[in-house]
Amino acid sequence: MGSSISSCCGEEKVAQGFVGGGPESSTWRLFTYKELQAATNGFSEDYMLGEGGFGSVYWGKTNDGHQIAVKKLKAMNSKAEMEFAVEVEILGRVRHKNLLGLRGYCAGSDQRLIVYDYMPNLSLLSHLHGQFANDMRLDWKKRMNIVVGSAQGLVYLHHEATPHIIHRDIKASNVLLDSDFEPLVADFGFAKLIPDGVSHMTTRVKGTLGYLAPEYAMWGKVSESCDVYSYGILLLELISGRKPIERLPGGIKRTITEWAEPLITTGRLSDMVDPRLNGVFDSHELRRVLHAAARSVQSEPDRRPTMNQVLDIVLGASPGADPVRNSALRGSAPSSTGSSVLRISSIKYEEELMAMDDDNSNDGDNEYEEEEGERELTTSRSTGETERGDGGNHVRSVVRPMGVPRMQDNYGHYGGAGNRRTPPRG
């Protein structure tokens, strides 16, 4: 990065570096608090783009007319500070067209703000489930571009950045869309840098319920394949327009893998496509994307492809990755051999975890964080409907201390004390 984050805001200290991603490449710099206050009309409610787990995001315009998004961390505690430091450190390292890089930051004695380029088409969440959900701005071509672009961003993080970076919070609200609907993966605040030669690390669990890989939710075992899992969930969401966790009539909740499993197993692929597309899609691309999704959400991390392989599958780049020749995704009729080649793992979170957001209307954007000795579930009520306007409403509920966090593992891959089985519902 080339500068210390402990000294700026208010001081006109000159510090800058390269900014990664974004429509144009340029440098990041330090901002003063005053400058950001002016740019956002005093952090006015009207300028608020949304609210996440760690603060509010405001639209703003700098003196030179550049549109920015300013993330203002709401709490100045050690966790928020660590979050800020990680985000700034990592943002300073990444340079890729599909990663939202740093435009600048401000770190005063009691304020932490991160400045990004403003993304005019907001997040993928806003188009799938939020304020643009009825506008159908995401046709099939745009969706495929998002599939490929966000995979390319992750390939960069996993395979090209040094050291490698695990994002740990891949989800629809963290895929932003520029004016051409080019996707930019955002929010590296949860990211983990992986030193060379390390295959996985054990860590506190952070992330969003619905996107969490089972081994990560249960054991805190984090590796690149946790991102692959979340990306697989994102693919299912993007193809179907469904939320990662849905509330069915009667209040029962169902994960998107539970919904997808029978459809993939019986080859009813076109039934999985978002009805808002009115049947306009490319069936070859659909097969490839569903093939990538099904493999990415395998419950065993070793059976998931790498992001490089995922990209090959969605692009149809390697013959071995072509589902038309190679797997159950061959046509719409059920295949007797296919289901053994390609089976989607249906993951169901433990009832106790699912029940934690019962008081909230939201059913797909639940942040989950494991602290030492306690389990914390953060639920966003807004799920993006309020990206511009009243902001999200994250609710934190800390439950009693317990050992490892648990998910139901329908295939019994993990076993152990943390894996209590509960009968499937619905």
Known binding-site residues for ATP equal 72
Contact call for residue 174 and Mg ion (CB under 5 A)? yes
DSSP 346-415: --EE-HHHHHTTTTSS--S-EEEEEETTEEEEEEESSTTTTTTTT---EEEEEE---SS--EE-TT-SS-
The residue among 178, 185, 193 whose CA lies nearest residue 86 is 193
- 3-state helix, strand, coil split of the chain in percent (to 5) is 30, 20, 50
User: How far is Cα 377 from Cα 388, in angstroms, rounded to an integer?
Assistant: 24
- 249 token code pair: 């009539």
64 is catalytic: no
* Residue 39 CA: distances (Å) to CA of 8, 42, 110, 201, 253: 17, 8, 19, 40, 42
Residues 78, 161, 301: CA angle, nearest 5 degrees: 80
Query: How many residues contact Mg ion, by CB under 5 A?
Result: 3
| Least CB distance to ligand ATP at residue 266 (A) | 35
> By beta-carbon distance, which residue lies closest to ligand ATP?
52
Among 19, 49, 155, 222, contact with ligand ATP (rule: CB under 6 A): 49
Please report where in the chains the tokens 């799920």 appear, as a residue.
383
Contact call for residue 115 and ligand ATP (CB under 6 A)? no
Site pattern 69..98 for ligand ATP (x: CB under 6 A): x-x---------------------------
Shorter beta-carbon distance to Mg ion: residue 176 or 239: 176
| Listed ranges 25-33, 37-45, 83-91, 166-174: which one lies at the site for ligand ATP (CB under 6 A) | 166-174
| Least CB distance to ligand ATP at residue 368 (A) | 10
Query: How many residues contact ligand ATP, by CB under 6 A?
Result: 24
Among 173, 346, 362, 366, contact with ligand ATP (rule: CB under 6 A): 173
Contact call for residue 187 and Mg ion (CB under 5 A)? yes
Shorter beta-carbon distance to ligand ATP: residue 357 or 367: 367
| Least CB distance to ligand ATP at residue 189 (A) | 7
For 135, counting Cβ atoms within 10 Å of its Cβ (0-12 exposed, 13-18 middle, 19+ buried), the class is exposed
The values of phi and psi at residue 155, to 5°, are -60, -40
For the packed helices 256-265 and 283-296, what is the interaxial angle rounded to 10 degrees?
A: 120
Residues 6+ apart with CB under 8 A from 64: none
Site pattern 120..149 for ligand ATP (x: CB under 6 A): --xx--------------------------
For the packed helices 283-296 and 224-240, what is the interaxial angle rounded to 10 degrees?
A: 140
Among Mg ion, ligand ATP, none, what binds residue 122 when CB lies within 5 to 8 Å by partner kind?
Answer: ligand ATP
Catalytic, out of 117, 169, 363, 409:
169
252 in helix, strand or coil?
A: coil
Among 28, 118, 132, 229, contact with ligand ATP (rule: CB under 6 A): 118
Among Mg ion, ligand ATP, none, what binds residue 232 when CB lies within 5 to 8 Å by partner kind?
Answer: none
Q: Which residues bind Mg ion (CB under 5 A)?
A: 52, 174, 187
Q: Which residues bind ligand ATP (CB under 6 A)?
A: 49-54, 57, 69, 71, 116, 118-119, 122-123, 169, 173-174, 176, 186-187, 367, 384, 387, 392
* Active site residues per annotation: 169
